[in-house]
Structure 1
């Protein structure tokens, strides 16, 4: 199973990390700039509202974000904003 992680750093730190990944002779994870990461949900978003462990909070997030209603709403919003921009549907 592949895992994804989020890194936080200033532009110089991110450039340094990219350089290390690109120039390494070891097997390294790929850089995926096509992913939207501006509004990520975190364990603390659940723990701010509920008394729970980190594991329980992660389970809540995974269930909430993979919920069919959530996915349907995101697809609706993508269509809405794409149409608002006048983009042609494939």
Structure 2
């Protein structure tokens, strides 16, 4: 009985290892596609915006119903700022 339990545990461990390794390989195969998407989004973010649109964005930014506060110990050290406002913490 103990021998069967040991074999069962070994088989389960090997299956878990194979599944974990397979997921890890899949993530590495997707990496070139993710890097391409990242470079495309960076290019879009750096696109030129005309002055009228830029002025409208700047004017409306101050009207957002939220504010940012520095973390002064109320949250984890990883958090630098917290957002407060309607629908936010």
Q: Could you tell me the TM-score, scaled by structure 1's length?
A: 0.33
- Choose between structure 1 and 2: higher helix proportion: 2
Q: TM-score, normalised by structure 2?
A: 0.33
Return the structure number with greater relative CO, CA threshold 8 A, min gap 6: 2
